[in-house]
Structure formats: C-alpha cells, structure tokens
C-alpha cells in the first residue's frame, strides 16, 4: 500500500495563518464564534446501532460552538460561506465525544498534504499582497477536488441563522452495537424547523453581524433543535475521502435530538479554552480510515496552544 505521510502539524497551522491571516487569541479556523449549551437525547435507533452512552435516552449535556468559517473574527455573517457547529457531549463517567461539523457535505481537500498545497497556493505574495492567480490556477487544475466545496457554498443561499442550516460530520465513522455489529455512516445534524436561507436582497439587508443576536432570540423562543441523523454507508461506498459524499439515497436514520438551551456571553463560555477534536470518540463509535480525520488532532492542539499563549478570545 502507498505510504501517506502527513505534513507537520505546526506547518499546517503556519499555512492557515499565512493564507488566512493571524488574529491573536482566536481560533485559526472558525474564529468568529459563540458558545452555547445544549441537551442531547438519544433514541432506540441510536441504541440499536451503538453502545455509546450518548444514546441511552438520558439527557446528555452538550457544549455547542457555532461559528462562521475562516480565520477572521469579524467575518461577515451575510455571505455564502461556511458555518460550523462544534460539539462536546459530556458523557457519564467522564467520557466525552467531540465533533467539528460544517455546513457542507464535503471538505475542501482530500488529504492533509493537499490542504497544505492549497493553502500555500492561496497565500498572498509579499509584494502584491494578493495570491498569485497563476499559482492558484495551477494547483486547482492539478487538484480539482479542492474546488468542490466552494462550488457547493456558491450553490446555496446565505443561511438565515446558525439554527437553520444542516451540519455534516463529513468523515465516515463506525457505529458498534452490543452484538459487535459495525455500521459505517456519515452524520448530519438537520434543523428540526427546517433549512432556511436568505435571498441575496435579504442577506444584504441583514448586514454583516446578525447571527449571534438571532441565535439568542431563537434559543429564548425554544426553537433551536437538530436531529442527529446517520446516513448509512454500503460496503462499496468510499469513506476515506472527505471530498466525496455518500451516494444519493442512502438510508437515513435519526439517532436522537440535540436542543440548544442557553447561549453564553459573546466573549465567554466553556468553549473558550477547549478545542474540538473529532477523534475524541466514545466507546461504541470508531473513526474510519479517512486520512483527513486522523490528521486533525495534532494541528488542533497546536492551534489551541497558540490561542492560550496569546490569551484566548471567543
């Protein structure tokens, strides 16, 4: 088999900073965010697929962080860009389950080396202060999958709210039940009130900063809830490439419901000094062999270390 070596995690974080800008104290990705608390209740479908205690049916406290994609803590809320929902399920016995879910079914690179190459191609030239269009074009032509995610975002409306967009886990995970049966799938958190976007006109009228206030209002009204849905993979489905979604029409089951119950102050909350590592999994859920998934823990730790040293900001 081909041996794939991942780039040094510090190099990846350096590349994020060089390409997207460095904002002291903030996350290098998903910088503009807000922390909330939620409750998850799993159901019998969840228990049939996995022994994870998240599905017990008891209320599980969950730390939730919503954010706008990118490194800029002042990123505009009214553009066709990425929204994120990171989660930490605080399970009985000190176990935790972390996720970093995004508002697209796919990621923008299939391997850490490809992500590094893409970031390098997008890094502004020191003299022109802009990326070199030739370099951007050459890299994308040689690696066409790096364009798929931006095509997806361009095809979707601006989300009306953090609470009205789907959030995908993107990677494959295995769910293991008491008999030891292993079912692979990809999950999606789908808003119970439905997906809702803004027209271009509405987005313009909303301005660049409405998502935090909108979230507070909707949570106050008790309206922010998501179904935790699993799209079941078939044995022939490709699960080692985060730029390839599962084929259309795979069976989808609801494993439980996440309800957001409170929102922290803009600058605080339990998200501030933690990172969400998607390979922190409970017993009963296992990682697939997607190289992007395995490569996330180390740069997240590097990013957290830098934020803490600089004085973390939300």
Binding site: which residues? Answer: 300
State the binding site for heme: 300
How far CA 198 is from CA of 76, 77, 192, 207, in Å, comes to 14, 11, 18, 12
For the bound state, the minimum distance from the C-beta of residue 280 to ligand HEM, rounded and expressed in Å, comes to 12
Which positions touch ligand HEM (CB under 6 A)? 12-13, 16, 27-30, 33, 65, 67, 84, 86, 100, 102, 107, 112, 115, 170, 242, 275-276, 292, 295-296, 299-300, 303-304, 307
Tally of CA atoms within 13 A in the half-sphere of 137 that contains its CB: 3
Q: In angstroms, what is the minimal distance from the CB of 124 to ligand HEM? A: 19
Q: Which residue number, 54 or 99, has a Cβ lying nearer to ligand HEM?
A: 99
**Which residues pair with residue 73 across a beta bridge?**
none
Query: What count of other Cβ atoms lies within 10 Å of the Cβ of residue 7?
Result: 18
Residues 82 and 102: their CA atoms lie apart, in Å, by 7
CB of 101 to ligand HEM, least distance (A): 6
Closest CB to ligand HEM among 42 and 291? 291
Whether the Cβ atoms of residue 28 and residue 13 lie closer than 8 Å to each other: yes
Burial, 55: exposed, middle or buried (Cβ in 10 Å; 0-12, 13-18, 19+)?
Answer: buried
Shortest separation between residue 267's beta carbon and ligand HEM, angstroms:
15
285 φ, ψ (degrees, to nearest 5): -135, 135
Residues forming a β-bridge with 61: 39
Rounded least distance, CB 142 to ligand HEM, Å: 19
Would you say 198 or 304 has its CB closer to ligand HEM? Answer: 304
CB 268 to ligand HEM: min, Å:
14
Q: Which is nearer to ligand HEM, 32 or 218 (CB)?
A: 32
Task: Report the run of H or E that residue 68 belongs to, with start and end.
Answer: strand 59-68
Residue whose CB is less far from ligand HEM, 113 or 136: 113
Q: Which is nearer to ligand HEM, 48 or 294 (CB)?
A: 294
Distance CA 273, CA 275 (A): 7
Angle at 224 between CA 220 and CA 225, to 5 degrees: 145
Q: How far is the CB of 112 from ligand HEM (least distance, A)?
A: 4
**Residue in the structure block whose two tokens are 């313009």:** 204
Q: Give me 272's structure tokens.
A: 């501030």
Torsion from C-alpha of 71, 75, 78, 79, nearest 10 degrees = -40
CB nearer to ligand HEM: pick between 185 and 299: 299
């Amino acid at each position: 088999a081909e041996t794939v070596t991942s780039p040094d995690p510090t190099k990846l974080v350096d590349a994020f900073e060089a390409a997207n800008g460095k904002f002291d104290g903030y996350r290098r990705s998903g910088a503009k965010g807000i922390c909330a608390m939620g409750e998850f209740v799993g159901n019998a479908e969840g228990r049939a697929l996995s022994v994870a205690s998240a599905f017990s049916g008891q209320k599980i406290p969950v730390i939730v962080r919503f954010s706008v994609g990118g490194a800029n803590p002042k990123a505009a809320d009214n553009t066709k860009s990425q929204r994120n929902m990171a989660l930490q399920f605080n399970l009985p016995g000190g176990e935790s389950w972390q996720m970093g879910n995004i508002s697209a079914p796919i990621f923008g690179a299939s391997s850490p080396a490809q992500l590094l190459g893409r970031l390098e191609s997008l890094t502004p030239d020191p003299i022109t202060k802009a990326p070199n269009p030739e370099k951007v074009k050459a890299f994308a032509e040689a690696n066409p999958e790096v364009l798929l995610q931006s095509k997806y975002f361009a095809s979707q409306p601006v989300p009306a709210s953090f609470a009205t967009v789907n959030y995908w886990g993107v990677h494959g995970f295995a769910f293991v039940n008491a008999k030891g049966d292993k079912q692979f799938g990809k999950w999606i958190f789908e808003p119970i009130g439905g997906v809702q976007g803004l027209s271009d006109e509405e987005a313009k009228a909303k301005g660049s900063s409405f998502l935090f206030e909108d979230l507070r209002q909707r949570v106050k009204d008790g309206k922010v809830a998501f179904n935790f849905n699993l799209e079941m993979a078939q044995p022939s489905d490709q699960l080692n490439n985060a730029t390839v979604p599962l084929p259309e029409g795979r069976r989808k089951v609801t494993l439980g419901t996440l309800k957001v119950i409170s929102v922290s102050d803009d600058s605080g909350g339990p998200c501030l000094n933690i990172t969400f590592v998607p390979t922190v999994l409970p017993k009963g859920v296992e990682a697939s062999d997607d190289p992007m998934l395995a490569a996330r823990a180390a740069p997240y730790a590097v990013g957290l270390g830098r934020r803490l040293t600089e004085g973390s900001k939300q």
